[in-house]
Amino acid sequence: MLLPAEKDLRAALARFAQVRIEHDVRPTGTTSLALEDVTRALCAMTGTTTVEEALSEADALLDRCRTERLDAAKGTATLAA
């Protein structure tokens, strides 16, 4: 599976949060469709089938990105020394 870019994953999570709030506050057919679309996108990005799995996997992927970024920074610092 190709991993999504961190910025794309963060954008999808932000969109999910925005739509989820809109739907919870004032549910309409439009917000329902938007929630289905963003959920489908998150599931596709994370290779999962439910929103719960997608959110959990997104957290894991973001942790991985953070770890890789920290490791790269340590490697750069070591090379500079």
pLDDT of residue 68: 87
pLDDT of residue 2: 77
- What's the Cα-to-Cα distance from 1 to each of 4, 18, 36, 44, rounded to whole Å? 9, 27, 22, 10
Does residue 77 surpass a pLDDT of 90? no
Contacts of 53 by beta carbon, 8 Å cutoff, 6+ apart: 43, 46
Tokens of 43: 């599931």
Tokens of 66: 């953070």
pLDDT digits (tens, 9 = 90+) for 9-53: 999 999 999 999 999 999 999 999 999 999 999 999 999 999 999
pLDDT of residue 10: 96
Under the banding of pLDDT at 50, 70 and 90, the label for residue 71 is: confident
pTM of the model: 0.83
Please give the full DSSP string across 44-76, using - where no structure is assigned: HHHT-SSHHHHHHHHHHHHHHHHHHHHHHHHHH
